[in-house]
Amino acid sequence: MTVSPSTLVNGISACVVMFIGGSMGVQFLVRYFREKKGLMPFASFTGFTLVGLYLGPFATFWSLMFTGSNISFILYGQLSYAITPIAIMNAMWLGFTIFSPDKRKLALYIYLATAVPYYILLFGFPVFMFVQNTSCGSVSSEDCLSALNGTGQMADISLTSGLLALNAFYILSVILILTWGFYNLRQKISGEEQKRVTFLMLGFLFFGIAAMMENTLGAFGDIAKIVARVVMATCAVLNYMGFSYKLSRKEKIIREISKIQVE
């Protein structure tokens, strides 16, 4: 099967982001079983979130490579967005645990409530939630897939209706609430801890920007896809640095002296 250059760009870039996210998730999971640190499972899930978000492009890319056919638009969308409500709940729980522990349950309940209509729309009314490739025009989804399969191009979708509104709410929550929360925390601390919080602040900011780009810039071609996925990969690296940042020898000595002075 001969595929178009656009398909290779789209599929390979999605696989790279999934690999980076999956590697991060596995490393933090291994660390949790070794060190038993309470937040490690949630940090691990932030990595696996990137795997879940790109399941649609991943599945249709390899389906096209091995069978010559894309998966359906509906399956593409459901694979790509099924993890979204769980991912936002995990991110909010993780963020509020760090910068505002007394409000983390409230945040969890709010986003848990939004998951109910989200999944009803995603699995109950998917035909109204997705718009197929803009290059297909107004033809039926079957004719669009047939044309894409014939030219070796990947299927792609855009969100619409209620699912678009909920995703916009989630993205803005990451940018405005999590990023702002870490920014405020950063102002109150110093030293190595401030560096860790700075990485997390930038990581979640980049995640929100990348998610926004993925949802809005798909029609602008391969360059937009590459930029969005470079930003998403950068988000994973920044979050990894934030959650795994190790104290310098000097900082450890200072902490030990502080403990002795307190005692």
Q: What is the 3 state secondary structure string of the chain? A: CCCCHHHHHHHHHHHHHHHHHHHHHHHHHHHHHHHCCCCHHHHHHHHHHHHHHCHHHHHHHHHHHHHCCCCCHHHHHHHHHCCHHHHHHHHHHHHHHHHCHHHHHHHHHHHHHHHHHHHHHHHHCHHHCEEECHHHCCCCHHHHHHHHHHHCCCCCEEECHHHHHHHHHHHHHHHHHHHHHHHHHHHHCCHHHHHHHHHHHHHHHHHHHHHHHHHHCHHHCHHHHHHHHHHHHHHHHHHHHHHHCCCCHHHHHHHHHHHHHHC
- 162 — pLDDT class (breaks 50, 70, 90): very high
- 253 — pLDDT class (breaks 50, 70, 90): very low
- Are 179 and 208 spatial neighbours (Cβ–Cβ below 8 Å)? yes
- 68 has pLDDT over 70: yes
10 Å Cβ neighbour count for 106? 12
Residue 218 or residue 140, greater confidence: 140
- 70 has pLDDT over 90: yes
**Which pLDDT score is estimated for 182?**
93
Q: What are phi and psi of 199, to 5 degrees?
A: -60, -45
How far CA 175 is from CA of 37, 47, 82, in Å, comes to 26, 18, 21
- Are 31 and 6 spatial neighbours (Cβ–Cβ below 8 Å)? no
- Are 207 and 232 spatial neighbours (Cβ–Cβ below 8 Å)? yes
pTM of the model: 0.86
* CA count, 13 A, side-chain hemisphere, 71: 17
Summarize pLDDT for 80-130 with one digit per residue, the tens: 999 999 999 999 999 999 999 999 999 999 999 999 999 999 999 998 888
Scan for tokens 């916009």, then name that residue: 168
Residue 9 or residue 136, greater confidence: 9
CATH code: domain 5-262 is 1.20.1070
* CA count, 13 A, side-chain hemisphere, 161: 12
